[in-house]
Chain A
Amino acid sequence: MYSYASRLKAMRDTKIAHTLAKRKQNGYTDLDDFGTVPISEGYFVEPWYNSTNGSFYGYDGMCENFCRVLDAHEPYIDPNEMLCGRWRDMLVNYRGDLHYMPDWLKKNPKTQEFMKSATNQWSKRWDEQRFPYDHLKPLQEKYNITTGIDGDAHFACDYRIGFELGFGGLLKKIDKYRAINLDKREFYDAEERTVEAIISFVQRHIDKLETMIAKEENRAVRNNLIEMKQTCENIRYNAPSTFQEACQWTAFFNCASRIYTRDGAGFQLDGLLYPYYERDVKAGILDDEKAKFLIANLLLIDPHYYQISGVDENDKDMTNHLSYLILEAADSINIATNLTVRVHENCDKEFMKKAVYYLLKNKNGWPRFCNDKALAEGYMRNGIDKKTARERIAVGCNWMCVPGKEFPMNDTVKVNVAKVLDEALKDLRKEEIRSTERLFEIYEEHLKKAVEVTAEGVNLHIDHAWEVTPELVMNLMMKNTLERGEDISQCAELYTVGIDGAGLAVVADSFGALQTRVEEEKLLTWDEMYEALDSDFADERTRLILNSAPKYCQGGTISDEWAKRLTESWVRIVKAQSMPEGRQFIPGWFSWSRTIEYGSKVGATPNGRRSGAPISHGANPNPHFRTDGAPTAQANGIASVQCGYGNTAPLQIEFDPKLAADEKGVDTVLRLIESHFNQGGTLININILDSEKLLEANENPDLHPDLVVRVTGFTAYFASLSPQFRQLVVDRFLQGI
């Protein structure tokens, strides 16, 4: 049997086997699955270090090492698939970034040697010898800021550029502009080698396919391999001209950009691929079944963030037949995917229902939903026109980007506001008259300093990223880069830089607890409260008095009011921060999956949270915020803390509504989505989970290696997560509606 269905099943089984094998090789990874396959036997890369600090930077350093890592990648071809190419290892692993480094590499003696000299996890990523920022570090550490310094990749390519030119066309473009910008030789040399390395990667697949074809006896499989080879040959140099070629081209490019800087930003999948689909169907070389198989294959290769549906600049629905096929394709393979449906009142209602149906049917965290109105109108408030705002699509965990034009650094810049509160509490203690109002004043003073020092870091990054980590792969599909001989960090059309606050619920509930329990009810004095914090709540009753105070997202509580006030304050301070050269900050609320790490830096807080415990996730309330765990209550609360400038404060829901994937179930969940968006919500990540399965998998993850959870903006295989992280997901789980 070599049917689409049997092949998809085999591909899914292989994926599950890979997940388990990767956990063995990598250890637990609280990260996106990334679509990687296990490291092959004997895989080895000898990095080339061009800096005296033992790392590599700049055009030559990045290019040389990219070529080495890509060249070390064996071709990946599964005869069940129609597309080929996978990635296994990334460049950043060789710059000492412990956060991403897998176990197999950590165990390598050479890596261990290299890491001995690393002072912290980031020290090798940014060239501190040439671009030091020691003067910023005290405040960055004080406020536990994720600085964005060497926060690579977080922007989006305009795939139309690549689809139009192909790798050969990109080489010609490089040649054309090299002749104009004679002083940019280093840039063009590096870009040229980069493209050549990708072409050679494609060629190695062609070679391997040839060997496999010669050996293959099954006619159907052989024909498939021949078609794959033909596809690879056609796009090795030329622009893709068919649907299959466009998918294969994307797969190869994505492998390269992932290896380079883990780039996960996709594109408007149903928009950009539609012309190929339409043409091929007319030409009689593509039918819906094959199109679905190819899409499923593309989604399997890499969980890039793709947007589907939405409206164009004239508010016209962009849903097309391919949008439906994409959902069906994702259903047919049903793995971790990052498809985001863009919701608008003019969008095809049947399509929305279908999207929700799959969410309920498969319980695998896809698709997720973003709100066009709040995002586009919000982004326009930064002085951006409507057409551009509509082009800004969902391509990351929590973020949007205008492909080809914007350098937003989204999701790489964060201020831990729980740590800011921690500092404010220390100052308030020294004062004679203590009050929540005074605490808020001090908190705002610290927050201003935090935002100011964040801005300095961001500007350092934008000024020098091209000398440290030029984006040689993604530059190929950006505007102005090849034309000017500049890295995208230097020549973007839009520098709307995202800055997220993390820990909102901890801070809101802390203010709420202080106002109710200390100021109004006088159950504790300020001194008793401070003693409790000092002792990390040695007295449990005191902790419970504070912890049982009204919480953010309960609905109409004091803490709900504080959350709104904290948001207003965050937005005001962020937007008031001046930036040079047309750059501007856009505020959001998002922690990514750093809640454990951020929490470890924050002492006990007045909401009854113990020292070092995780902070709240994104814009979410603290766990157990209501006994009924009502998702509507959470949705109401999160809608009220939107920052309003086009970046998100996502609604992240984990629940088991015990609803079937029938009309009632679909209508109910769709109502939840639409209502939250009508209230101004921006992004919804819903994990509809089977509570029994989740709890079973928490005990023994190997029982359900196919269980996918949307950890934060990204999805991950539950079995790959660390026990601590699995518990966080379980704790967030609402006991159902």
Chain B
Amino acid sequence: MISGIVADIQRASVHDGPGIRTTVFLKGCPLHCAWCHNPECIERAPQLMYYPEKCIGCGSCDKGCFSGARVICGKEMSVEEVLKEVLLDKDYYGTDGGVTFSGGEPFMQSEFLNALIDACKAEGIHCAVETSLIYFDAEIFRKVDLVMADLKIWDDELHKKYTGVSNEKIKTHFCQLSELHIPVIARTPVIPGICQEIDKISEFLKELSNVEKYELLPYHPLGGAKREALGIEPDGFTIPSKEFMEELEKYVFIRE
């Protein structure tokens, strides 16, 4: 039985792809983006998250915490267990909704991901992946209905500085996806204060016929509470203004 480490399963998600979706967050990511909004998904192993405001001071931590103060993020689940959860909302998916595998970097658990996609496809469920494109698994890409992939910063040095990895592979993988004619929604998280060069990213993506859409996602601070619960310093970034986002949108190509 194939199993993997799942950080969370969120139902009724409408912002992780088309329609109504269930998003499965797989744990583990080789990138260390400074602004990561899912910091609990970076480590592959289960982690303790501590929310002191919920602690009731019962002194019985060893017998189990029921207050939500000490939460283990990450649970080993079999394909069947994940599928069972995904199937709960099958009636609500319709033709465009379905399941989105996110993370972390879902391809870090590629065997598990592959098996999950097989199981979901066997049930006729639309499958999407959200990936950093640091890995390239053609077998999986050929199976999925939609790929949502990031190109976060154009300049490689800056990319290394803020994510811990070079973007050369990522750019190559974008091209490889294009060669395979696999439809992609490309995205860039907009982080004020970093020169991401949206214009150059857009120019690059525009040349790839498989990139259906290029989206800018404003940085949001939802990872803040989770960073605190993991004992990580705040990332120090701020939400981009509406005006800033509008200005950047001018550089985003629109596929006719």
Contacts and interface: CB of A to CB of B under 8 A. Distances in A.
A657 B58 contact: no
A668 B12 CA distance: 10
A635 B85 contact: no
B58 to A, nearest CB: 4
Interface of A: 523, 540-541, 544-545, 547-548, 555-556, 626, 628, 630-633, 635-636, 657-659, 664, 667-668, 671-672, 675, 678-679, 737
B12 A658 contact: no
A154 to B, nearest CB: 33
A356 to B, nearest CB: 14
Given A675-B91, A737-B12, A540 B58 contact: yes
Interface in B62-79: 64, 66-68
A681 to B, nearest CB: 11
Nearest to B54: A544
Nearest to A679: B91
19 contacts: A547-B66, A555-B88, A628-B10, A628-B12, A628-B13, A630-B11, A632-B11, A633-B11, A633-B12, A635-B92, A636-B89, A658-B15, A664-B18, A667-B19, A671-B19, A671-B94, A675-B91, A675-B92, A678-B91
Contacts of A523: 64
A628 B56 contact: no
Contacts, number: 70
A548 B66 contact: yes
Contacts of B68: 548
Q: Is the interface of A mostly helix, strand, loop or mixed?
A: helix
B14 A657 contact: yes
B29 interface: no
A675 B11 CA distance: 15
A632 B92 contact: yes
B56 A541 contact: yes
Interface in B42-84: 56, 58, 60, 64, 66-68, 84
Contacts of B28: none
A630 B10 contact: yes
B97 interface: yes
A636 B92 CA distance: 9
A626 B12 CA distance: 12
B252 interface: no
A541 B60 contact: yes
Given A555-B85, A672-B92, A675-B91, A545 B66 contact: yes
A628 B24 CA distance: 13
Given A540-B56, A541-B56, A556-B84, A632 B12 contact: yes
Nearest to A555: B88
B66 A630 contact: no
Given A636-B91, A658-B15, 11 more contacts: A540-B58, A540-B67, A547-B66, A626-B11, A628-B11, A632-B20, A633-B12, A659-B14, A672-B92, A675-B91, A679-B91
Contacts of B91: 636, 675, 678-679
A737 B13 contact: yes
Contacts of A545: 66
Chain B's interface size range is 20 to 34
A678 B60 CA distance: 46
Given A555-B85, A668-B20, A671-B94, A544 B10 contact: no
A541 B20 contact: no
A667 B56 CA distance: 43
A737 B22 CA distance: 11
A626 B11 CA distance: 10
Contacts of B10: 628, 630
Interface string B83-122: 0110011011010010000000000000000000000000
B97 A671 contact: yes
A575 B78 CA distance: 43
A635 B91 CA distance: 10
B67 A544 contact: yes
Contact of A671 (B60, B66, B67, B92): B92
Of B58, B66, B67, most buried by chain A (CB within 10 Å of CB) is B66
Contacts of B56: 540-541, 544
8 closest A-B pairs by beta carbon, nearest first, are: A630-B11, A630-B12, A544-B66, A632-B12, A541-B58, A737-B12, A555-B88, A675-B92
B71 to A, nearest CB: 10
Contacts of B97: 671
Nearest to A674: B94
Contacts of B12: 628, 630-633, 737
A684 to B, nearest CB: 13
A671 B89 CA distance: 12
Contacts of B85: 555
Contacts of B66: 541, 544-545, 547-548
Contacts of A657: 14
A343 B91 CA distance: 17
Contact of A632 (B15, B18, B84, B89): B89
A657 B20 CA distance: 11
A548 B69 CA distance: 12
Contacts of A679: 91
Contacts of B94: 671, 675
A664 B14 CA distance: 9
B128 to A, nearest CB: 15
A130 to B, nearest CB: 53
B14 A668 contact: yes
A541 B68 CA distance: 11
A378 B43 CA distance: 52
Contacts of A678: 91
Nearest to B97: A671
Contacts of B14: 657, 659, 664, 668, 737
A706 B178 CA distance: 51
Nearest to A667: B19
Given A548-B66, A630-B11, A668 B19 contact: yes
A672 B11 CA distance: 13
Contacts of B60: 541
Interface string B1-35: 00000000011111100111000000000000000
A634 to B, nearest CB: 9
A522 to B, nearest CB: 12
A658 B12 CA distance: 13
A540 B67 CA distance: 9
A547 B56 CA distance: 14
Given A544-B67, A555-B85, A672 B20 contact: yes
A185 B20 CA distance: 63
Nearest to A670: B94
Contacts of A540: 56, 58, 67
Nearest to B11: A630
Of the listed residues B12, B56, B58, B66, the one surrounded by the most CB atoms of chain A closer than 10 A to its CB is B12
Interface string B184-215: 00000000000000000000000000000000
